[in-house]
């Protein structure tokens, strides 16, 4: 807008009428454009050094140099700039978020899940902070949702993968790591005693001053036993959908075209699928797992 104002004032007026005097003969109708997140991130980085610092006494009666609010003065920017959060995502991280959530460039700023903005606000330097944030997002917040929402337990592995945006776990498709990243095996329900035992074991490893390779290997996590009945498998799929909604949103292609379709089909034809045995359930969950690995591990091409 400052550039357009300068253009109107520095060139020949369009005419002598009231409306024409505010326009230039060089006026052009410009289409509104939505730059991609990568372009916005790059522009902010290039222009950061050119922006003048905001005076620290903006709330006082006078600004730097004795200028009043809204005016320019010595050492004062023409328009006060709000303070920004120094913690941001890199260009590659923005691309990973946009790809995982299946968002177009124009949808990234408006349709991405609130998780990522809250991670910048709360801080993503430690796994504990990300875990506390996930627990708050996945916790029922009213009496009605407490009756309808499934419970998703947030593990340290899940919090670490979300913190590092490692949803596809580097395209590792082995069974030993199938519970890492975003996968139906991530939300397999376990008893409270098992979770407590694992937490105590992890705390002891963190407090140890000397660890052997055997100790490190003993602290690795492994997949929990999957359900063997239809009703338990449906609960697992519901927990997985709840997790996907919080992390990648409802636009994610893996969620819409794979998990939702399978869950709806199993609900509509319960009389057919309720006779499924452990082998059929394991095969179905494994196919969903492979689709999640392929989807979340795909690299972003040159077109974004």
Q: What is the 8-class DSSP label of residue 184?
A: G
Q: Range with the lowest mean pLDDT among 33-37, 80-84, 164-168, 271-275?
A: 80-84
Tokens of residue 202, six digits: 């992890």
Quote the CA–CA distance of 134 and 192 in Å, as a whole number. Answer: 18
Tell me the whole-structure pTM to 2 decimals: 0.68
Is the pLDDT at 58 greater than 70, yes or no? no
List residues bridging with 73 in a β-sheet.
76
* pLDDT for the residue numbered 44: 77
Is the pLDDT at 65 greater than 50, yes or no? no
List residues bridging with 76 in a β-sheet.
73
What tens digit of pLDDT does each residue of 201-212 get?
A: 777 777 777 777
* pLDDT for the residue numbered 76: 44
Quote the CA–CA distance of 36 and 106 in Å, as a whole number. Answer: 7
CA 19 to chain CA centroid, Å, is 47
Quote the CA–CA distance of 165 and 57 in Å, as a whole number. Answer: 39
């Amino acid at each position: 807008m400052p550039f357009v104002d300068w253009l109107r004032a520095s060139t020949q007026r369009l005419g002598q009428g009231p409306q024409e005097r505010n326009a230039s003969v060089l006026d052009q109708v410009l289409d509104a454009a939505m730059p991609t997140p990568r372009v916005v991130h790059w522009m902010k980085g290039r222009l950061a050094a050119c922006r003048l610092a905001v005076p620290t006494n903006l709330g006082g009666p006078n600004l730097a140099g004795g200028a009043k609010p809204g005016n320019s003065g010595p050492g004062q920017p023409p328009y006060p700039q709000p303070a920004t959060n120094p913690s941001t995502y890199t260009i590659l991280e923005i691309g990973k978020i946009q790809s995982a959530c299946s968002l177009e460039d124009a949808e990234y700023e408006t349709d991405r899940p609130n998780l990522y903005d809250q991670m910048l606000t709360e801080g993503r330097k430690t796994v504990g902070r990300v875990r506390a944030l996930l627990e708050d997002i996945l916790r029922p917040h009213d009496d009605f949702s407490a009756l309808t929402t499934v419970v998703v337990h947030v593990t340290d592995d899940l919090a670490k993968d979300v913190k590092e945006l490692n949803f596809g776990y580097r395209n590792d498709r082995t069974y030993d790591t199938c519970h890492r990243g975003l996968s139906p095996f991530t939300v397999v329900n376990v008893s409270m005693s098992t979770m407590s035992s694992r937490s105590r074991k992890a705390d002891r490893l963190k407090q140890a001053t000397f660890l052997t390779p055997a100790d490190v290997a003993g602290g690795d996590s492994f997949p929990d036993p999957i359900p063997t009945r239809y009703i338990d498998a449906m609960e697992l799929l519901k927990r997985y959908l709840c997790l996907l909604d919080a992390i990648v949103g409802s636009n994610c292609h893996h969620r819409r075209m794979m998990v939702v379709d399978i869950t709806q089909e199993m609900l509509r034809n319960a009389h057919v699928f309720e006779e499924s045995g452990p082998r059929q359930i394991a095969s179905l969950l494994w196919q969903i797992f492979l689709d999640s690995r392929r989807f979340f591990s795909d690299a972003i091409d040159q077109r974004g």
